[in-house]
Amino acid sequence: MAFDFDTPISRQNTGCCKWDDLQQVFGRTDVLPLWVADMDFSAPPGVTAALKARLEHPVYGYHTREKPLFESVANWEKKRHGWQVELEWLMNAPGVVPSISAAILAFTEPGDEIIIQPPVYPPFSACVKNNNRRLVENPLIEDSGRYTPDLEDLKRKITPRTKLLILCSPHNPVGRVWTRDELLTLNEICLNHGVTVISDEIHCDLAFSGHRHIPTAALGEAIARNTVAMISPSKTFNIAGTYTSFVVIPDAGKRRKFAQTIEALKIGAGNLFGIIAAEAAYRTGEAWLDELLPYLEANAGYLAEYVRQNLPGVKVVKPEGTYLAWLDFRGVSGDPAYLQELLLNRAKVGLNDGAAYGHGGAGFARLNFACSRSLLQEGLVRIEQALKNR
């Protein structure tokens, strides 16, 4: 192994939200943090080298480096996902969540309806509500811990006021890497009803063996013209703090509209270090990612097996991608307050409360397993002991 994911690295006192904000987030500092979606691993060495090299020049003024940056993104998408991204389709953005809000402003009016598929990443609903649009939920169907889209419900929910669907592909928190058939059917429904699809593909590079991420806009030309895709190196290479992402819009009309909004908000320039980190990650990070993925997948398998053997009443299905596990604690207690007390104050683990993920989330907790195996094990042992001693 050329890269070490196994030796824990202390992140305390680095101004890191996952480890340094425990008091604010959980009300105590002795919690093992397995929550917010970044990894406890060093970024690929090529990223650190590129940042260091740039720091050698001590002037950090306005920058311009769009073409090589966009080329690195397009090459990556082609190589990893077989998706031909034209450079003119690409736009720079300071993150996927700001891009979702910008898309809501660009493509909808106040009062328009926007569909999400809970349980899902909480900022989806927040972006809709904060921009005074109407949230419509098309909950996923759960069957023995495996989730699928409810396409019949989707058809029923679409009205003439429905303008957007925000798709999470792969899905946070349920860990599905959607199949071609699932994506095709969903996108055809949206296309036929004039509903533009915002495709949040931030977890696209984190699919495990036997599963393949399919970019929404690679499903065909008509679907591509109906898609506003959002990609980012932040999850893949653990550089979320550099706030750099990309919006890919194949349709020229939609691109113009989105560009007007980005221009009105003045958020398209990107920041110097984010741009350097992103380009270095896409150009030099592949070997690192190819070692990271089996490590994450082994953690996922370890976690699923540990839960099965040692955590009575808890269920989990090994995720198909992402580094997030969606733990079902409904067999332990139907009372969310008790669950919170158990996990936080007795087990002393900091997980994300499932209730925040909307419909179908109560009684679940999300666990981030992008950490060394020993840390993951410690978290699971803590939960096991709390369950035994209750």
Ligand X SMILES: Cc1ncc(COP(=O)(O)O)c(C=O)c1O
Residue of the chain from 83, 121, 208, 306 that contacts ligand X (CB under 6 A): 121
CB of 285 to ligand X, least distance (A): 17
Give the range of 90-98, 287-295, 302-310, 347-355 binding ligand X by CB under 6 A.
90-98
Binding track over 37-66 against ligand X, x by CB under 6 A: x-----------------------------
Residue of the chain from 34, 91, 96, 280 that contacts ligand X (CB under 6 A): 96
Phi/psi for 148 (5° steps) reads -135, 160
Q: How many CA atoms lie within 13 A of 219 on its CB side?
A: 26
By the rule CB under 6 A, 172 interacts with ligand X: yes
| Residue placing its CB nearer to ligand X in the complex, 306 or 326 | 326
Say if CB 113 and CB 163 are below 8 A apart.
yes
| Residue placing its CB nearer to ligand X in the complex, 227 or 384 | 227
* Residues 289-348 close enough to bind ligand X by CB under 6 A: none
CB of 201 to ligand X, least distance (A): 9
By the rule CB under 6 A, 167 interacts with ligand X: no
Residue of the chain from 72, 117, 199, 245 that contacts ligand X (CB under 6 A): 245
| Residue placing its CB nearer to ligand X in the complex, 31 or 198 | 198
Strands 227-231 and 245-248: antiparallel
- As a whole number of angstroms, the distance between CA 217 and CA 222 comes to 9
Residue of the chain from 186, 195, 202, 247 that contacts ligand X (CB under 6 A): 202
Q: In sequence order, what E strands does the chain have?
A: 32-33, 90-93, 113-116, 134-137, 141-143, 146-148, 162-168, 196-200, 227-231, 245-248, 324-328, 349-350, 352-353, 364-368
Interior CA angle at 150 toward 182 and 216, to 5°? 30
Total residues binding ligand X (CB under 6 A): 13
Closest residue to ligand X: CB criterion: 95
| Residue placing its CB nearer to ligand X in the complex, 198 or 311 | 198
CA 337 to chain centre: 27
73-101 b/e (C-beta count within 10 Å ≥ 16 → b): bbebbeebbebebeeebbbbbbbbbbbbb
| Residue placing its CB nearer to ligand X in the complex, 127 or 386 | 127
The per-residue DSSP string of 229-256 comes to EEE-STTTTT-GGG--EEEE--SHHHHH
| Residue placing its CB nearer to ligand X in the complex, 113 or 201 | 201
Residue of the chain from 204, 240, 314, 316 that contacts ligand X (CB under 6 A): 240
SS3 196: strand
CB of 117 to ligand X, least distance (A): 12
By the rule CB under 6 A, 234 interacts with ligand X: yes
Q: Take residue 43 and report the two structure tokens written for it.
A: 């970024």
Residue of the chain from 33, 44, 46, 95 that contacts ligand X (CB under 6 A): 95
Element (H, E) at 104: helix 96-107
By the rule CB under 6 A, 200 interacts with ligand X: yes
SS3 284: helix
CB of 387 to ligand X, least distance (A): 28
- As a whole number of angstroms, the distance between CA 226 and CA 165 comes to 11
* Closest residue by Cα to residue 91 from 240, 329, 296, 260: 260
By the rule CB under 6 A, 229 interacts with ligand X: no
Amino acid of residue 76:
W
* Residues 258-297 close enough to bind ligand X by CB under 6 A: none
CB of 20 to ligand X, least distance (A): 18
CB of 377 to ligand X, least distance (A): 24
Give the range of 44-52, 91-99, 175-183, 256-264 binding ligand X by CB under 6 A.
91-99
- As a whole number of angstroms, the distance between CA 70 and CA 246 comes to 9
Residues in contact with ligand X by the rule CB under 6 A: 37, 95-97, 121, 168, 172, 200, 202, 232, 234, 240, 245
